[in-house]
A and B are shown apart, each in its own frame.
Chain A
């Protein structure tokens, strides 16, 4: 592993304007396979906008985004035809929403939610879809006995784990996580964090995780980016940014966390 290895994701100068306001401004980042990057900042700092740009869901007014797929082919994401982008979305990318209801289909069963990507990717054997579904429910610590139940009957933590299973079943290489733990109780959070930590490592998933929780970033991410008013104000290894913050805003952020 060196800086010469080809990165998975390369973004330069990403800029999104909402009227005369910036969603994100001149953001560049590079992500290699297996790396976890945390994007931190307060509400309105542009974290989620950036994540949606990286997912190809918002086309920025300026900037480029390149993604290298499993076959080592590099794509200009914003120049991709819709069909090709959607193929990447359901095969190589995972997007986990803060609110699991935004990422799940609440009208169908847990099993159907989990298996949907496999069906969309052309797996036709019902038995093997069912088997993978069970396997992934176990992997995210959900009772397989509840495979035919609606996610509406699940707790928030269970729904979030179901959303993760639904996304990871197709073996994606890039995961984009939007505040995946912030809607959960502290004890449920710890369990989900432990799960995410295990999954990103065992699957070698390159991950961008948006969070306002510095402890979550410390636990999951090797690298960190601090955003304020749409701009990146500081980058570094997670422990560098948290233990030796340079920017006034980062210092304020770190100083605002109660020491426990």
Chain B
């Protein structure tokens, strides 16, 4: 794909005038405005780092992009295989489809499901894509090996794993299927240096494969290694 053609392509993600407040009914209806008039564009193969001090709303922004936090105003246009979807205003059903087909999501913490093994957690998105179980298992094993997760852990549920091991299971699940948009919330927070470098490699690979990546990377080494540009979220004065 030449640079000229790439430039003419519509962005994978286009956010216009995004606003988000939380109203805390248990605190006398206190309204906390977190995001105001956020706009951004992100093309295929690019990586954007969301920066800003703690509490500025970086995670809320990321959660709005996947439709987990519900935007109050603005638009979040995402290019999906079946056309553009406004995540901020989509119906539940369209949002579910858009997430499944177009978003890879690595949250800060793994939400472990009782009794479900690591390998099943990681193969799950592939099976949902219609990949045959044997092939899915093979791909999951390759990725878990790349992430240095010992094979003896693959058939165990991750509930008892260390923070770093859980984080790698989470990464494997988020990265196993190529998706147009990849959202990463502190993907290397609990990892040692070697594993951190593996994750950097995987993010580069996702970019080369055409994913647009947006994430929160507190570690400046990771941020400098993967991000093409930064978006600073400034705390709003209430």
Contact = CB atoms under 8 A, between A and B. Distances in A.
Contacts of A32: 93
B114 A190 contact: yes
A107 interface: no
B129 to A, nearest CB: 14
A194 B116 contact: yes
Contacts of A248: 25-26
A209 to B, nearest CB: 16
Interface in A200-245: 218-219, 222-223, 235-237, 239-240, 243-244
A251 B26 contact: yes
B68 A1 contact: no
Contact of B115 (A1, A35, A190, A251): A190
B23 interface: yes
B94 A3 contact: yes
Nearest to A189: B114
B68 A240 contact: yes
Contact of B95 (A35, A191, A237): A237
A248 to B, nearest CB: 4
25 contacts: A2-B93, A2-B97, A3-B91, A3-B93, A3-B94, A35-B93, A190-B115, A193-B114, A194-B113, A194-B115, A194-B116, A218-B111, A236-B70, A236-B92, A239-B68, A240-B69, A243-B68, A243-B69, A244-B22, A244-B63, A244-B69, A248-B26, A251-B25, A251-B26, A255-B26
Given A237-B67, A251-B24, 9 more contacts: A1-B93, A1-B97, A3-B93, A190-B115, A194-B115, A240-B68, A243-B63, A244-B70, A251-B25
Interface of B: 22-26, 63, 67-70, 82, 91-97, 111, 113-116
